A and B are shown apart, each in its own frame.
Chain A
Amino acid sequence: MRTILGGLSACLAAGPGLAQDAAFDVEAEAQICAGCHGEAGMPVDETTPIIWGQEYFYIYTQLRDYAAARREHEVMTGIAAEYDRDQAKQLAEYYAAKDWPAIQAATEEGDARLANAGITGGQCSACHGKWEGDSRIPRAAGQQPAYLEQTMKDFKNEVRMNAPDKISTMKQLDDATIEALARYLASL
């Protein structure tokens, strides 16, 4: 019995389509998202993250964290609170299936050295690997540099609280390293 229930739960997790809400129009909902995240995947503002092609489970957990006030944002908190779990999964699936947009990101001399020192010190690659994302680990390669920088500084300054272990790690890095890291990751 325990095995069957476990299997059912995993099945639901794997296939949001099994429990789709007929009244929820994911395309229409995406039009609202496009107001900030962009019509073709390129966000309107440089501090807004690219979500086209982002990892399904990461998007889903961020929506749930916004809804539960584990992560706070003046716009996203209210929007995410409107979605139930299945709707959040449908949106996550919708965006995960999109192609990641290419961006132009400039680096400065010495960025790679500083970034790699930070990556090694924080043991970042243990989870983030080659920065391409996987499941609960977000893609950071090719992400908007201003968003990456803001995110890391938000961890460091205890503004973003839904991945608390990152706070201690980011506190080990000075701002120059964080800024170099943001430019370096954006250029990958």
Chain B
Amino acid sequence: MHLKFLAAVGGVCLALGSGPASAQEETSASTLYGDLQHVTQDMLERAAGDGNNFLHTNGNYEQTRYYPASQINTGNVQNLRPAWIFQTEVVDSLETSPIVVNGIMYVTTSFNHVYALDARTGRQIWHYKHQMGPVTTYCCGPNNRGVAVSGDRVFMGTLDAKLVALDAKTGKQLWETQIAEAELGYSETMAPTVVDNMVLIGTNGGEYGIRGFVKAFDTETGEEIWNFYTVPEDSKGVWATHDATGRDMKRDIEAEKAAYEEMGDPYETLGGGVWQNPAVDLETRRIYFVVGNPSPDLDGSLRPGDNLYTDSLVSVDLDSGEYVCHFQYIAHDVWDLDAVSPPIITQVKDEAGNDIKGILHGGKTGYVYVHDAEDCSLIRFSEPMVSQEGRWTLPTEDGARMLPGANGGVEWSPMAIDPNERLTYAINLHQPMTYTVRSTPYPEGKLWLGGSFDVIPDEEQWGNVTAVDYDTGKIRWKVRTEQPMIGGILATAGGLLFTGEGNGLFKAFDSSNGAELWRFQAGAGVNAPPSSYTVEGRQYIVVGAGGNAQLNYKRGNNIIAFTLAD
């Protein structure tokens, strides 16, 4: 009886939540270029070699963001011109990675709009506007980083902590699932990943005292298949005193142990969000993702211990979500210099010079970390890409200056690699900040930073585009930019890198030496990862120009596709 009642109320809620048809603008599929073809698992697995489509947020399951088409290359990129500009109805941060399937493009905006566009012309095919619930949460802008595609469906996570499935042909909502309780600070800005009929997604909320997770949902029904908590019930770890680069983190271990005895394990409100997509290794059927900061960000007094698995690379079994291995970069982080940029799977040299399967991660510390995929162990870390002045200075009540600032040396921005050059490319921030600690108890789902991190107004800020040899850790080249960089980067087989800046410039660089070969002024911050695709024999580069709320870069609403002039 009790169950029946619950089921009945749940049904009412689903009916209310699924929303009326007015949330979508229908169109006639018969008028479309292409046929919005079914996306097969085979297509998703072969994406790394697919020079027509862009099927994953980071290009392929390995997340290399290396696009195999070379029609646009170092020899002709100076002839790159806008092919079309599509304006969304939302003038706010754009962090979407455009996904392209057989000539149809899917983009998202802040506040969870989805558009399907004709990738040749930018003509709108359909528009879905999520009917947002009354409780949304975002620490860093009302962002969304894009959709995942599989079968004839499109999937998106929402600011009110839901996962929605849409019909790829019409934009009609097929189902929605509440991923976690929005009132407690859970929400979604990351794009999901789809593999073998499972939708994988993490959660935001590390600034709100959530307990982080990665979950798998059934693509057909939206039912949960497995859940991996990123914070185990025993989160104290090994009481590590030094970080991954060997620096003393100045922890008072004895005081922490005493606090742990008195307070117990803080796992229930310890944070550990997962902001970006997992890399998928179908050979071993494992996934690799990075886990964000502990809660509260700056106040370690309420969370004694290493705070596992925050600030870590973690691998779990794809089919069960069972733990496989982890590596923690910073134990007991009190600087929010966590792990957010999505990991990359590629062949790397081990310490003996042999090629092995490795994992790359660009840390907010400003280092590229290179791991053995087998056991997550660290093989090497790169030269620092940004200043490490004062690291690790503990936050104080009056504020203490340190670099990198809390937006990191690399933010959530995905890196790209060129496997031929054996280089990985990151975009960086130089942003001095003061770190201030103020201890307050868990505020039941409200913002819980435990202090603040503030930009120092009189100090100069800038950014870099940096190329790192992942076999040696050496920086090959570095190009400075006017402002701190956030968004993402794309490498192509044409020997090019594409990335944008907060001042509206979208640039192409020679990926071998960093020479700037082309630029375009987009009129608003270009702070989204670019994609590429080919339709009717013509290669395009596409990027969102909507600015960024986190760094207060000029907002806009443009999706801009470029191709070579005739």
Contact = CB atoms under 8 A, between A and B. Distances in A.
27 contacts: A3-B223, A6-B180, A9-B183, A10-B17, A10-B133, A10-B181, A10-B182, A13-B135, A56-B134, A117-B457, A119-B552, A120-B457, A122-B452, A122-B454, A122-B455, A125-B141, A125-B552, A162-B446, A164-B438, A164-B443, A165-B447, A165-B448, A165-B452, A167-B438, A168-B399, A168-B451, A172-B454
B454 A168 contact: yes
A83 B16 CA distance: 27
B140 A14 contact: no
Contacts of B549: 125-126, 129
Given A13-B182, A14-B17, A136-B136, A8 B550 contact: no
Interface residues on B, range: 35 or more
B383 interface: no
Contacts of B454: 121-123, 168-169, 172
A134 interface: yes
Contact of A169 (B9, B134, B440, B452): B452
Given A8-B6, A11-B12, A123-B454, 10 more contacts: A7-B178, A8-B9, A11-B9, A13-B182, A123-B551, A126-B549, A162-B446, A163-B447, A165-B451, A171-B436
A4 B13 CA distance: 10
* In the A-B complex, the 7 residue pairs with the closest CB atoms: A11-B13, A168-B452, A135-B136, A164-B440, A168-B436, A165-B449, A7-B10
A92 B403 CA distance: 43
A57 interface: yes
Nearest to B11: A7
Nearest to A122: B454
Nearest to A96: B134
A15 interface: yes
A121 B455 contact: yes
A164 B443 CA distance: 9
Contacts of B183: 9, 13
Contacts of B447: 127, 163, 165
B45 interface: no
Chain B interface mostly helix, strand, loop or mixed?
Answer: loop
Interface of A: 3-11, 13-15, 56-57, 61, 70, 117, 119-123, 125-127, 129-130, 134-136, 162-165, 167-169, 171-172
Contact of B13 (A14, A119, A122): A14
B3 to A, nearest CB: 8
Contacts of B136: 134-136
Interface in B414-448: 434, 436, 438, 440, 443, 446-448
Contacts of A162: 443, 446
A11 B182 CA distance: 11
A159 to B, nearest CB: 15
A14 B224 CA distance: 22
A144 to B, nearest CB: 23
A8 B172 CA distance: 24
A127 to B, nearest CB: 6
B92 interface: yes
Contact of A123 (B16, B434, B455): B455
Contacts of B139: 126-127
Contact of B7 (A4, A11, A129, A134): A4
B138 interface: yes
A22 to B, nearest CB: 19
Contacts of B434: 172
Nearest to A170: B452
A136 B135 contact: yes
A70 B92 CA distance: 33
Q: Which of A70, A120, A162, A165 has the most CB of B within 10 A?
A: A165
